[in-house]
């Protein structure tokens, strides 16, 4: 039986794989034995490493289809194959719908939905000719399934991304598996911007049933699983990596109203 962590000889691309969640995914794939190539607009401050090996980096604007195509051609020339693509790059600033203007919101959709479409199409050209096919993993968000005030365009893009993955899984089967890892809150170097100091981060973590925010390594482990032979019959799925989700606010309100006076 295949070991879940054995990706030796495999080649993986992680978009936005240089920091935060992306770096966690990159490290997990490296630790599992894969050769990993990352891309982003800016290079990392230091190489992303694990198990004594480093990921290769290329600067790419993922919103530029020609640049994306050229990047995957470089991967083909260097490695001769591509086994796994993790579409991690994305994000959004806090911006209410009425304050940003249509063009700014469209840029958020472009980065979080159209860029993964571009990269997936380029990866498909490499993978479909391989006897072993390949796998594509989208990094989704719970924002795609619940209201997301302040990040509505992001939530809409993530909802579209999961639907896109399910359609790809049907169109590109059986050679290529396509899945989505649906994230809740993850602790990264940007967490203080959203949740405040350490006490604030811990307080937010206590609202999660498992009692903490996810670590980037938790996301990485899920991506390694989906890339591995243990997930050979998993495609078109959404894997929830959110620690049990969010405790419904009405439960706290009900508890408060029924406390003894």
pLDDT digits (tens, 9 = 90+) for 106-121: 999 999 999 999 999 9
Q: What is the pLDDT of residue 198?
A: 84
The answer to whether residue 103 sits within a structural domain is: yes
Domain that holds residue 116: 11-252
Query: pLDDT band for position 249 (50/70/90)?
Result: confident
pLDDT in tens, 143-200: 999 999 999 999 999 999 999 999 999 999 999 999 999 999 898 877 776 778 888 8
The answer to whether residue 120 sits within a structural domain is: yes
* Average pLDDT value over all residues in the chain: 92
Residue 121: its H or E element = helix 115-127
The answer to whether residue 6 sits within a structural domain is: no
The answer to whether residue 2 sits within a structural domain is: no
Higher pLDDT, 14 or 93: 14
Q: What is the pLDDT of residue 201?
A: 86
Query: pLDDT band for position 248 (50/70/90)?
Result: confident
**Which residues, including other chains, have CB under 8 Å from residue 219's CB and lie 6 or more apart?**
21, 24, 25, 28, 139, 181, 183, 186, 241
The answer to whether residue 188 sits within a structural domain is: yes
* From 79, 154, 195, 233, active-site residue: 154
Q: Which of 122, 132, 128, 235 is nearest to 177 (CA)?
A: 235
Higher pLDDT, 17 or 254: 17
CB atoms within 10 A of CB 247: 12
- Domain with residue 186: its CATH number is 3.40.50.720
The answer to whether residue 1 sits within a structural domain is: no
The answer to whether residue 257 sits within a structural domain is: no
Number of domains making up the chain: 1
Higher pLDDT, 2 or 135: 135
Give yes or no: 79 in active site: no
The length of the chain in residues reads: 261
pLDDT of residue 1 exceeding 60, the answer is: no
If you average pLDDT over residues 12-40, what whole number do you get?
97
The answer to whether residue 15 sits within a structural domain is: yes
pLDDT in tens, 46-63: 999 999 999 999 999 999
Contact 58, 73 (CB under 8 A): no
Q: How far apart are CA 139 and CA 14, in angstroms?
A: 10
Higher pLDDT, 100 or 21: 21
Query: pLDDT band for position 259 (50/70/90)?
Result: low
């Amino acid at each position: 039986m295949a070991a879940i962590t054995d990706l030796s000889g495999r080649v993986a691309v992680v978009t936005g794989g240089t920091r935060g969640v992306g770096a966690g995914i990159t490290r997990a794939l490296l630790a599992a034995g894969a050769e990993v190539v990352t891309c982003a607009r800016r290079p990392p401050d230091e190489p992303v490493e694990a198990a004594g090996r480093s990921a290769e980096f290329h600067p790419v604007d993922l919103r530029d289809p020609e640049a994306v195509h050229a990047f995957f051609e470089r991967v083909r020339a260097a490695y001769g194959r591509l086994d796994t693509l993790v579409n991690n790059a994305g994000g959004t600033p806090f911006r209410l719908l009425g304050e940003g203007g249509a063009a700014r919101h469209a840029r958020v959709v472009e980065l979080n939905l159209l860029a993964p479409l571009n990269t997936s199409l380029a990866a498909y050209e490499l993978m479909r000719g391989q006897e072993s096919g390949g796998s594509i993993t989208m990094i989704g968000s719970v924002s795609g399934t619940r209201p997301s005030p302040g990040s509505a365009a992001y939530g809409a893009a993530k909802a579209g991304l999961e639907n896109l993955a399910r359609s790809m899984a049907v169109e590109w089967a059986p050679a290529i598996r396509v899945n989505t890892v649906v994230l809740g809150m993850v602790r990264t170097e940007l967490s203080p911007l959203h949740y405040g100091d350490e006490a604030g981060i811990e307080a937010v973590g206590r609202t999660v049933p498992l009692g903490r925010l996810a670590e980037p390594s938790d996301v990485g482990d899920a991506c390694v699983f989906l890339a591995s032979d243990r997930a050979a019959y998993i495609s078109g799925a959404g894997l929830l990596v959110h620690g049990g989700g969010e405790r419904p606010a009405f439960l706290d309100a009900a508890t408060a109203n029924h406390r003894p006076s």
